[in-house]
Amino acid sequence: MAMGKKNWVFADGELPPKDGTEIEAHESLMILNLNEDVATVKMTLLFEDRDPVENITIKVDGKRVKCNRLDRPVGEEGYQIPFGQYAMVLNSDLPIFAVFGRLDTRQANMAFYTVQGHTYED
């Protein structure tokens, strides 16, 4: 039985701007591949004020986790996600698990939290 799902949605991304603090504000995407084979994940980003960016490719080796800092270039294409509001859709050729995390340092009582995305079937 396959573990994980092929399609994931994270509706609330908001990459915080750099604020010069010692601990950098950022968002991250963790992808877990429990399969033996490499999973090829295609990321689509949707924005409030611009056209979507599609087919950003992330490869995750079999039996591995890949942690992607979203304030740094992401995917094989090295796409830099702009600061501000966005949503993310992941489509994988193999079942995976995906978790989204955010560290917001814009206030003194900062916190890092994670959110599991919503899944859907083809």
Which band of pLDDT confidence, cut at 50, 70 and 90, is reported for residue 65?
A: very high
Which band of pLDDT confidence, cut at 50, 70 and 90, is reported for residue 102?
A: confident
Query: 81 and 10 in contact (C-beta within 8 Å)?
Result: no
Mean pLDDT value across residues 8-30:
78
Which domain range does residue 91 map to? 5-119
The 10 Å CB-count burial string (b at 16+, else e) for 56-72 is bebebeeeeebebebbe
pTM of the predicted structure, to 2 decimals: 0.89
Distance CA 19, CA 12 (A): 21
Query: What CATH number has the domain bearing residue 91?
Result: 2.60.290.11
Say which residues have a Cβ less than 8 Å from residue 77's Cβ, sequence separation at least 6.
56, 57
Q: Which one has a higher pLDDT value, 32 or 85?
A: 32
Q: How far is CA 26 from CA 67, 92, 104, 121, in A?
A: 12, 24, 7, 30
Whether residue 97 is predicted with pLDDT greater than 70 in this model: the reply is yes
Distance CA 17, CA 37 (A): 36
Domain count, the chain: 1
Mean pLDDT value across residues 70-95:
95
